[in-house]
């Protein structure tokens, strides 16, 4: 699912990332906003298997992916992508002021 932005004060925006999986045991959000940390942004599932994580991000361009049960996964709802140094693709989100 695509990341969704809500406008907030002080130039930052509340961004909610989501990933649909009925079978995942763990989903982590990693990107250049957290130096690709695999521990700083764990996602939580709802009863329907939609994993979510909300971050406050300042305006800018961010690349990200999901780490699902120790495997990199893409965001099926976000078609904005770019190539990375590993020969795969990252997703891109633009946070506007």
Terminal-residue alpha carbon distance, the chain: 22
Please indicate, yes or no, whether the overall pTM of this predicted structure exceeds 0.75: yes
* C-beta neighbour count of 17 within 10 angstroms: 25
As a whole number of angstroms, the distance between CA 28 and CA 17 comes to 11
Q: State yes or no: pLDDT of 67 exceeds 80.
A: yes
Tens digits of per-residue pLDDT, 8-59? 556 899 999 999 999 999 999 999 999 999 999 999 999 999 999 999 999 9
- Highest CATH level, class, for 4-95: mainly beta
Distance CA 17, CA 75 (A): 9
């Amino acid at each position: 699912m695509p990341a969704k932005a809500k406008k907030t004060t002080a130039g930052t925006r509340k961004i909610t990332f989501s990933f649909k999986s009925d079978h995942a045991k763990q989903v982590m959000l990693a990107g250049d906003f957290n130096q690709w940390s695999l521990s700083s942004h764990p996602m939580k599932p709802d009863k329907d298997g939609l994993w979510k994580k909300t971050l406050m991000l300042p305006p800018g361009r961010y690349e990200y992916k999901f780490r699902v049960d120790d495997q990199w996964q893409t965001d099926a709802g976000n078609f904005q992508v770019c190539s990375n140094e590993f020969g795969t693709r990252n997703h891109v989100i633009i946070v506007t002021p």
